[in-house]
Structure 1
């Protein structure tokens, strides 16, 4: 086990210990947001209502995923019940609902906020009338005298402040320090009716957990005729299709997932330094020319062909003179000797002696000895040194 791996293991163990301590000491946090979502089990979700709705509507409830405008544009329904619960519908959808109510349908609207143009057309107006920490919802009909709900957690405090004389008040909101306010009304509209409730909290999980509050919900919906009810909702009740939903829905798995990601990030961070690769040792290319020349020289020496070696040396020397000193070597006369002496700075005697030996090397019939080769090689090297 190398040192780096040990460091990672220690860091990972420390993180695990910290998370374990946090998990042990963690207190359950309650989500008190008013989400009104049928899939939520939080206090102000609609999970219980969604499962009990069939019972409340006597198995005649049908959920509609489209908005009312799109739905009624493509269908021709006979008179029915319409149910809207805390949904943000567009103006065209509200208009379609009003058209259906005019034809003989009944609409149960449980919303805190309804467009003013719509509420004015029906005959009421909503506003905040109470900021009390608790309100009581109570029905006005004597046969429902024991039907009420105490809203003691974040009540909306909204009621109907302007109501046309022909509108019937079915329920009131009783608030300490304020006058009773209408909270549930019935309005005749064409051949049908609007039933409007200003406080949707009584249908949330927190309040339906209490058995006595269920009776209030039953009594509210009892005003609707016994026929099919269409529930229009912009809240998506279907389960999320996100592939991580199961992990995120389980706290332990969720922490494990984040721990895994954190560990991967730490691993990447500590390995971000560029590791130097081993640079292979490459031997420099050998200059084989020298070895080749030595081999050729040894061959000539073994053969005793001193004349050929002198000729090669002379040929190489004259080539260098032409290239480096820019002296014509066609005629090895006095003029050549003078130019070579001037450019090399060597004595005239050595220049003349070298020229004599070069001519001897160029003469194929000349008799050459080893001493001639050695002397010419010495002179030519000295001249071009």
Structure 2
């Protein structure tokens, strides 16, 4: 990697690092989503209320993190009466949940249900209808008032962060209206807080249609008296806080989802992955296997021939060397000049002289010497040297 490429890479890495730091350091946008969870400190969470419930509870505040049906069927029987708090934008109960809840209240317990809507079997059983007013009251400032003259000082005007819902029908035989809602510029009032007796053991449902009154935003912005007054209508007994039927309930389905929902773990994960990618890129380039240099195959025929020749020469086998040199020379003539070497006669000498660019005398001299050597059975070193000289002289222009 050249110097310029390294500089570019360092600049890119620095920019990415600065972007990550800016992302981490920038102020987080305020989360205005409906939560109602006891653990959430966002405006529409219920962290403040949950941590103040001991004031209104007779004993430790219990927490439910599963469906009402499972919780009420698995909990141990208690002679002491209890109050179940269910606060959310909408509470959707199955038929099994509703049956378990009705049985719980029929045993003399209390349910506080604060929601903008109630449907299904529970609404039918209580003969109750809740609706949002879309004609002008919806999301407009509204007075939440108590019907008791003794509580007038705790009436509260909710100016913002509000969705006004009210009750349009009730079971008049078993219901007591405890509070109403009225638009700031309207004279028309509607019930929004009621008590409905249920069963023969003094059990009751407290239905409240303004769940926003229990959130951190309103409790910390001057509406705490209204909230505490609503809770004061309930008998002081052990409270069960429902943390299952919540819009902001945390649902973790995998370890990776848990990591990505936690800001610190999320950025640690991103940095680790980025570092791993850089490591792979640079480590892969630095430690790749060196490609070996493969030399061209050498033609060792000449060396081999020299070795064999030296072997014969050292043993004094001149006749064998001369025979092989004559055989090699004749093969050269056959392949180079396409001449038949079976008969080394006058016609052969003439053709050889013409094709080899030698004189007829030179051609005749080497042929005669070949015939001379072939006629002998034994040879001397001098004859071998002379043969080699004649062959080199004759072929000097042909190799």
Q: TM-score, normalised by structure 2?
A: 0.71
1:21 deviation in Å? Answer: 8.0
Counterpart-to-counterpart distance in 1, 2:373 and 2:161:
124
- The answer as to whether partners of 1:8 and 1:267 remain within 8 angstroms in 2 is no
2:214 corresponds in structure 1 to 203
Pairwise mapping of residues 1-385 of structure 1 onto structure 2 (< 5 A)? Answer: 2-11=3-12, 29-75=29-75, 77-78=77-78, 79-86=81-88, 88-91=91-94, 92-129=96-133, 130-166=137-173, 167-178=175-186, 179-191=188-200, 192-210=203-221, 213-234=223-244, 235=246, 242=258, 247-248=263-264, 260=271, 264=275, 281-297=293-309, 306-316=318-328, 357=370, 360-361=373-374, 364-365=377-378, 369=383, 370-375=385-390
Counterpart-to-counterpart distance in 2, 1:296 and 1:165:
127
Counterpart-to-counterpart distance in 2, 1:190 and 1:10:
74
1:175 deviation in Å? Answer: 1.2
Counterpart-to-counterpart distance in 2, 1:271 and 1:298:
57
CA RMSD of aligned residues (A): 4.9
- The answer as to whether partners of 1:169 and 1:184 remain within 8 angstroms in 2 is yes
1:226 deviation in Å? Answer: 2.8
Partner of 1:145, secondary structure, is helix
Partner of 1:169, secondary structure, is strand
Partner of 1:99, secondary structure, is helix
Counterparts in 2 of 1:321 and 1:124: CA distance versus 1, 3 Å: farther
Counterpart-to-counterpart distance in 1, 2:185 and 2:195:
26
Of 3-12 and 134-143, deviating more is: 3-12
Of 139-148 and 28-37, deviating more is: 28-37
Counterparts in 2 of 1:228 and 1:303: CA distance versus 1, 3 Å: closer
What 5-or-longer segments of structure 1 have no aligned partner? none
- The answer as to whether partners of 2:56 and 2:236 remain within 8 angstroms in 1 is no
Partner of 2:182, secondary structure, is strand
Aligned residues: 370
Counterpart-to-counterpart distance in 2, 1:245 and 1:362:
105
1:269 deviation in Å? Answer: 12
What 5-or-longer segments of structure 2 have no aligned partner? none
- The answer as to whether partners of 2:139 and 2:160 remain within 8 angstroms in 1 is no
1:170 deviation in Å? Answer: 0.9
- The answer as to whether partners of 1:148 and 1:213 remain within 8 angstroms in 2 is no
Counterparts in 2 of 1:328 and 1:193: CA distance versus 1, 3 Å: farther
Partner of 1:313, secondary structure, is helix
Q: TM-score, normalised by structure 1?
A: 0.73
